[in-house]
């Protein structure tokens, strides 16, 4: 009985070992974390690609959207109640291996849950989009600070080089909205 339990514990530790390292070592840089100072600079013509995308041009990269948009102004263009977008968003979430850290249902595990009322930096569209694109470390350099305390502390890795189309990230965020279990009055989107 007791040894069965230990075996289970061990198996769980081994299978989640890769991710445990990320969430346990808060001061280790995330593998994909690179500092690209030039990209952080806001250029005056940064709004041009945004306009092109709005006019039906090529898809915009999430990092270009971040750089082109004033702090606090990013807004999800998708309907978070549309079941088709929710489903697509979950596929994108799984495809980007977000589940490795946050769980397939978003309930957390090695890393913070996406389903509870606590948001580390804030739960609005603007903050979540930037957090996922820039990662924890870069986000904090852009003037976003920790407000909420989750049980697990670790850096969220930057996804700016892993997502080619901002629509994919917005859809994943739609799915995150769908699994959130907080109280209606705590909703910030």
Binding site for ligand HEC (CB under 6 A): 19, 22-23, 93, 96-98, 100-102, 111-112, 114, 118-120, 128, 131-132, 136, 150, 153-157, 159, 172, 176
Distance CA 64, CA 165 (A): 10
In angstroms, the Cα distances linking 154 to 23, 30, 99, 151, 170 are: 4, 9, 16, 10, 23
Percentages helix, strand, coil for the chain (3-state, rounded to 5) are 50, 0, 50
In the complex, what is the shortest distance from the CB of residue 46 to ligand HEC, in angstroms, rounded to a whole number? Answer: 23
Burial class, 82, CB count within 10 angstroms (exposed 0-12 / middle 13-18 / buried 19+): middle
Tell me if 92 sits within 8 A of 168, measured CB to CB. yes
In the complex, what is the shortest distance from the CB of residue 31 to ligand HEC, in angstroms, rounded to a whole number? Answer: 8
Question: Which CB atom, from 57 or from 105, has the smaller least distance to ligand HEC?
Answer: 105
Question: Which CB atom, from 23 or from 86, has the smaller least distance to ligand HEC?
Answer: 23
* Of 126, 124, 115, residue with least CA distance to 150: 115
HEC string for 68-86: HCCCCCCCCCCCCCCHHHH
In the complex, what is the shortest distance from the CB of residue 28 to ligand HEC, in angstroms, rounded to a whole number? Answer: 11
Which residue's beta carbon is nearest to the bound ligand HEC?
Answer: 98
In the complex, what is the shortest distance from the CB of residue 58 to ligand HEC, in angstroms, rounded to a whole number? Answer: 21
Question: Which CB atom, from 47 or from 152, has the smaller least distance to ligand HEC?
Answer: 152
In the complex, what is the shortest distance from the CB of residue 57 to ligand HEC, in angstroms, rounded to a whole number? Answer: 24
Question: Which CB atom, from 57 or from 107, has the smaller least distance to ligand HEC?
Answer: 107
Question: Which CB atom, from 53 or from 132, has the smaller least distance to ligand HEC?
Answer: 132
Residues across the chain: 189
């Amino acid at each position: 009985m007791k040894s069965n339990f230990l075996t289970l514990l061990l198996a769980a530790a081994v299978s989640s070992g890769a991710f445990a390292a990320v969430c346990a070592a808060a001061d280790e840089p995330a593998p994909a974390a690179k500092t690209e100072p030039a990209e952080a600079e806001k250029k005056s013509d940064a709004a041009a690609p945004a306009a092109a995308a709005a006019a039906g041009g090529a898809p915009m990269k999430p990092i270009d959207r971040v750089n082109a948009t004033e702090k606090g102004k990013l807004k999800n263009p998708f309907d978070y109640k549309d079941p088709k977008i929710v489903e697509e968003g979950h596929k994108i979430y799984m495809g980007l291996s977000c589940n490795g850290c946050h769980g397939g249902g978003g309930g957390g595990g090695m890393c913070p849950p996406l389903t509870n009322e606590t948001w580390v930096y804030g739960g609005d569209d603007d903050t979540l989009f930037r957090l996922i694109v820039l990662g924890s470390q870069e986000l904090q350099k852009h003037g976003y600070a920790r407000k909420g305390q989750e049980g697990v502390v670790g850096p969220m890795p930057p996804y700016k080089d892993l997502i080619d189309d901002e629509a994919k990230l917005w859809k994943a965020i739609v799915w995150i909205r769908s699994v959130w279990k907080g109280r209606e009055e705590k909703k910030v989107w």
